[in-house]
A and B are shown apart, each in its own frame.
Chain A
Amino acid sequence: MHLDFSAAPDGQTFSADVCVVGTGAAGITLTTELIRRGLSVCLVESGGFELDGATQSLHEVENTGISRRPTVTTRLRMFGGTTNHWTGKCGRLDELDFEARPWVPDSGWPITRRDLDPFYDRAQPFLDLAPRLTGAELAAVFDAPAPDLDGTVASLYAWQLSPPTRFGPKFRDAIERSPQVQLLLNASVVNVQANADASRVEHLDIRSLDGKTGKVKAQQYVIGCGGIENARLLLLSDNVMRGGLGNQNDLVGRYFMEHLRNRQLVVFDSDPYTIQRVYNTYHAPEGLYLLGLGLSRELQEKEQILNAAFFANFEATEASATDSASHIANALAHGEKPADFSASVLRAVQDLDQIAVNVRRKLLRRGSRELTNELSLLVIETEQAPNRDSRIDLSSQRDLLGLRRPRVQWRMNEMDRKTVLTAAQSIAGELWRHHRARMHLPDSMQEPLEDWVYNFKDVSHHIGTTRMAEDPKRGVVNKHCQVHGTHNLYMAGSSVFPTGGHVNPTMTIVALAVRLSDHLVSLHGKG
């Protein structure tokens, strides 16, 4: 059943085995798994089934760091959360991403990739993914002409593409019909109330925009509201522990990371089809894949850089100019001058200014999407280095509930910059070697850090603000995602990631939620 809390009587108390706050990928996954195993859940959502402006304004932040896209446009405060508009790109973190890398300060998870693999497997159906394939396997299945890459530089990397699954519509029915779930809509958590020594949470205080108040009591509480809001809620809950719950070592909100995505890398093929034949989207009956390149462990270690990956976007150009360019390029690749060289050159150059978008369709065998004779835009996505000074704390500005807004101070550092430049130069070599393709990097990408940061927009992957570590001096939560010192309080979502890898976080978020559900079920003695 669901309850519109704003229409409920004031002062109600709701009880369940577990309280889950947030109905994004983490909260819905957790709830689904918990009720399947026989537990009752009070699921608390700040918004309703539809987006509304007043509730969405609760996502406003004060931004004092690197310029970012407005959070009110990138995070959704409604049932299903940000899965209502995500793009579906999924992948597993690499093994190296979990390791403590000596050249990356504050790296290392308290769990390994192998620990998480069974939960990645269980995450697949939540995200409606095709069976997992490595990059090499994907190329083999679709008979793509995979280049013989220098494995010390890069290897093929395959993303799995969710349709994208909208968790709200997919799971709403089952959640509403379950007698084990109380879904509270339009109920915002305003305080996590702990006991006198902060060793346990006693209840959550909830409030609606029109001033209704209530409480939620449970044996365990899980906060899954996103990387900014997760930290904010802990920081706001400071009437027992000064500085906020779980913040005894001044770590809550710190190490705020994003993924850096840059679309300015341009590749011009000598033979325009060689890149598209490999780095493309592949359609299987069970779902979609995207094939790109991931940096090798060896390169990261040798160059002391972070993880990064590349994939291609394509842009169409008018046929005749492109034909001319292809004609020239093909000839050049063989060290020959085309017979009608002058005419081809002039046509290609003169037509560029009047190029109209025209897509030429040429189907490959089953599998890859239609080929187009296009300019290749290479997208690079990189990990950010854990940076203690990149953080979320509390602003003096207040929202409609009277709560202090988050203040976002996003930072980048020299390792981030070095990673992008080194990765681009390394991949440029592989592209030249296999495709005689050339990569372009705008001059702005070589500027000093303070100006270099403007090459990037955030991609709204909010990572690291309640990071995981077994030592409470190094993390906010332990390997079970339990807040250090507060035994029945857990965090869910990408806020618990100590490092972010290059890959989109959603699949890892869902896998960790499945894993957490197993842990919570075990606390209740259920199998």
Chain B
Amino acid sequence: MRTLRGSLNQARRRVLAASGAVLLAASSLRAASSRPVDNQTQRRAALINRFFGGSYDARAVGASYLAAEPAERDADFLWTRLFGSNEPRDRATCSRLLAERIAEDFRNRDVVHIQGWIVARAEARACALVHLS
């Protein structure tokens, strides 16, 4: 039987993986992608990744979110939902707006459960944008 300590360690490992244990998200943005992704989506994803410190496994979170919400598999839709318009944003503005959206979603209990972690929908959408890049 798995011990509670073992379960918690595994859970913590998943969180660490999502929170920066893997460089793949950052490095994959630098590497040439085999998927046809437009430059605008890549630029947007890079801005969001900076919010998470550049090492958050946003792709994994985003993939899980889009698996549950396939209708949102659209970079423009996600960007607009997060930042209100298609206008380009600088890093500081992105970070500020994203933090506000996340806080608002928690206030309204607009959350999703991804691998058991309670995540504000805005954060999940931001990760989805990274995944699409």
Complexed CA–CA distance, A377 and B4 (Å):
11
**Main DSSP-derived SS at the B contact region:** helix
Chain A residue numbers with a CB within 8 Å of B117 are 438-441
Complexed CA–CA distance, A409 and B53 (Å):
52
Within the complex, which residue of A348, A349, A355, A428 is in contact with B106, where a contact is CB–CB below 8 Å?
A: A428
Known interface pairs A315-B5, A335-B50. Does A375 touch B12 (Cβ–Cβ under 8 Å)?
yes
Within the complex, which residue of B17, B26, B103, B119 is in contact with A349, where a contact is CB–CB below 8 Å?
A: B17
Cβ–Cβ contact A429 & B107, under 8 A: yes
Which listed segment binds B: A47-55, A205-213, A419-427?
A419-427
> What mask results when residues 433 to 448 of chain A are scored 1 for a CB within 8 Å of chain B, else 0?
1000011111100100
A345 at the interface (CB under 8 A from B): yes
Chain B residue numbers with a CB within 8 Å of A315 are 5, 8
Within the complex, which residue of B50, B109, B116 is in contact with A443, where a contact is CB–CB below 8 Å?
A: B116
Task: Say how far B77's CB is from chain A's closest CB, in angstroms.
Answer: 24
Within the complex, which residue of A325, A337, A422 is in contact with B55, where a contact is CB–CB below 8 Å?
A: A337
Complexed CA–CA distance, A432 and B118 (Å):
10
Cβ–Cβ contact B113 & A335, under 8 A: no
Cβ–Cβ contact A433 & B103, under 8 A: yes
Cβ–Cβ contact B8 & A266, under 8 A: yes
Complexed CA–CA distance, A429 and B117 (Å):
12
Cβ–Cβ contact A422 & B12, under 8 A: no
Complexed CA–CA distance, A341 and B19 (Å):
12
Cβ–Cβ contact A268 & B15, under 8 A: yes
Cβ–Cβ contact A355 & B111, under 8 A: no
Chain A residue numbers with a CB within 8 Å of B118 are 424-425, 428, 438-441
Within the complex, which residue of B9, B55, B103 is in contact with A355, where a contact is CB–CB below 8 Å?
A: B9
B21 at the interface (CB under 8 A from A): yes
Known interface pairs A424-B118, A425-B109, A432-B106. Does A332 touch B19 (Cβ–Cβ under 8 Å)?
yes
Q: Which residue on A lies nearest to B22, using beta carbons? A: A345
Question: What's the interface size class on A, roughly?
Answer: 35 or more
> What mask results when residues 365 to 391 of chain A are scored 1 for a CB within 8 Å of chain B, else 0?
000000000010100000000000000
Q: Which residue on B lies nearest to A303, using beta carbons? A: B109
Cβ–Cβ contact A432 & B120, under 8 A: yes
Task: Say how far B55's CB is from chain A's closest CB, in angstroms.
Answer: 6
Cβ–Cβ contact B20 & A332, under 8 A: yes
Q: Which residue on B lies nearest to A316, using beta carbons? A: B5
Q: Which residue on B lies nearest to A439, using beta carbons? A: B118
> What mask results when residues 5 to 25 of chain B are scored 1 for a CB within 8 Å of chain A, else 0?
100110111011101111100
Q: Which residue on A lies nearest to B110, using beta carbons? A: A425
Chain B residue numbers with a CB within 8 Å of A428 are 106, 111, 118
B79 at the interface (CB under 8 A from A): no
Binding site for B on A (CB under 8 A): 150, 153, 263, 266, 268, 270, 315, 317, 325, 328-329, 331-332, 335-337, 341-342, 345, 348-349, 352-353, 355, 357, 375, 377, 422, 424-426, 428-430, 432-433, 438-443, 446
Binding site for A on B (CB under 8 A): 4-5, 8-9, 11-13, 15-17, 19-23, 26, 50-56, 95, 102-103, 106-107, 109, 111, 113, 116-120
